Amino acid sequence: MDRQQGKRILVTGGHGFLGSHLLKALEDGGYQQVAAPSLEECDLTVENEIKRLYLEVKPQVIIHLAAVVGGIGANRENPGSFFYQNLIMGVQLMEQARLSGVEKFVALGTICAYPKFTPVPFSEQDLWNGYPEETNAPYGLAKKMLLVQAQAYRQQYDFNAIYLLPVNLYGPRDNFNPQSSHVIPALIKKCLEAKDQGAPEITVWGDGSATREFLYVQDAARGIVLASQKYDGPEPVNLGSGMEISIKDLVELIARLTGFQGKITWDTSQPNGQPRRCLNTQRAYEYFGFQAEQDFESGLRETIHWYLANRPVLKSHHKAGESHA
Q: Which residues are catalytic?
A: 139
Q: Residue 144 in contact with residue 131, Cβ under 8 Å?
A: no
DSSP 161-225: EEEEEE-EEESTT----TTT--HHHHHHHHHHHHHHHT-SEEEEES-S--EE-EEEHHHHHHHHH
Per-residue CA distances from 10 to 46, 176, 217, 268, 300 (Å): 17, 26, 19, 44, 30
Cα 141 to Cα 145: distance, rounded to the nearest angstrom? 6
Half-sphere exposure for 87 (CA within 13 Å, toward CB): 15
Task: Describe the chain by its helix, strand, coil percentages, rounded to 5.
Answer: 45, 15, 40
Cα 190 to Cα 184: distance, rounded to the nearest angstrom? 10
Q: Considering only the C-alpha atoms of the chain, give the largest distance between any 2 of them, rounded to a whole number of Å.
A: 61
